[in-house]
Amino acid sequence: MKAVRFEQYGDVDELKVEQIAKPEAGPGQVVVAVKAAGLNPGEAAIRAGLLHDVFPAAFPSGQGTDFAGIVDEVGAGVDEWSAGDEVVGWATRSSHAEFVVVPRDQLVAKPENVVWEVAGSISVTGPTAYAALRAVQATEGDTIVVSAAAGGVGVMASQLAILGGLTVIGTASERNHDFLRSLGVIPVEYGEGVVDRIREAAPQGVDAYIDCYGHGNVEYALELGVAPQRIDTIIDFAAVERHGVKGEGSAQATTPAVLAELLGLIAEAKIVVPIDGVFPLDRVTDAYRDLEDGHARGKYVLGMDVVEYPGEREGDRAGSDERSDQAT
């Protein structure tokens, strides 16, 4: 089968699509034929060696966490899944491949009306947003700021907060403001002067802050008077140490129950997941170049049956030289 691998830390050109042995299902395991697999910034950071002290890679390393697909084989003792079942799950650095093997309890059923590209893109961003919102003790009536609100985690966190009865202020580039308004988010331009713009948008004050971008957002939250225990950053772990804010993310909420709940909200059209582009597996380097440029709205996805896929916005095309709107 084809799978994405890298032999050493480095830039996107270290990624290779290689032929390796198809996995087999051991006791308690399930092999899934992957239909779609999302890309995440953390994967790029691991490949670059930026997270070696926390998540060291063993070479040759596979890649990828998110996936959705069709059960191909089940191991001994697995009776809740059968060949042909449509599932969504998470893997450990191995989902960017034609087949993936995972423990049986890392899968949930895919709702029939959720398309493969969406189903295969939320196993990291969805639980991360869920955990961050829970960490800041968000309650109905609160006002919350979400940085990088049009990105993969930010767009999920913003919508979950709105469903919970919160007022959401989302920092983003001007080009994403109409999109955020369509979700019910109050958009604010990021960059110099953002604290003053947030104050203007929230004259009653800010109760909580979810940082999906880093670059001083924790300090912005503190300047706005948000209590440290009501600030969560999914990226600036140095700020967690400096200021005593929270750093909760996918590790605190990646469970079958949470993933099933999120898929249910998507199936009911209570949450939308924008897909900025779907790339064939052989173009994984193009996909990560676009991701690492920081211009995605929502998610980029590898689609195993895809030749090329137009972006979420009319006229965009995955992997083209025309970059899509910045999510930060």
Report pLDDT for 295.
Answer: 65
Report pLDDT for 297.
Answer: 86
Architecture of domain 2-124+255-303: Alpha-Beta Complex (3.90)
Q: Are 104 and 30 within 8 A, CB to CB?
A: yes
21 exposed, middle or buried (CB, 10 Å; 0-12, 13-18, 19+)?
exposed
The domain segmentation of the chain, as residue ranges, is 2-124+255-303, 125-251
| Whole-number Å distance between alpha carbons of 26 and 30 | 8
54 three-state secondary structure = coil
pLDDT string in tens for the chain (328-residue length): 999 999 999 999 999 999 999 999 999 999 999 999 999 999 999 999 998 988 899 999 999 999 999 999 999 999 999 999 999 999 999 999 999 999 999 999 999 999 999 999 999 999 999 999 999 999 999 999 999 999 999 999 999 999 999 999 999 999 899 999 999 999 999 999 999 999 999 999 999 999 999 999 999 999 999 999 999 999 999 999 999 999 999 999 999 999 999 999 999 999 999 999 999 999 999 999 999 887 678 899 999 986 444 444 333 333 323 323 334 4
125-251 CATH = 3.40.50.720
Strand residue runs (E) in 39-173: 66-74, 86-90, 99-103, 107-109, 143-146, 167-172
Q: What is the DSSP letter of 169?
A: E
pTM: 0.91
| Whole-number Å distance between alpha carbons of 203 and 196 | 10
Q: What is the DSSP letter of 5?
A: E
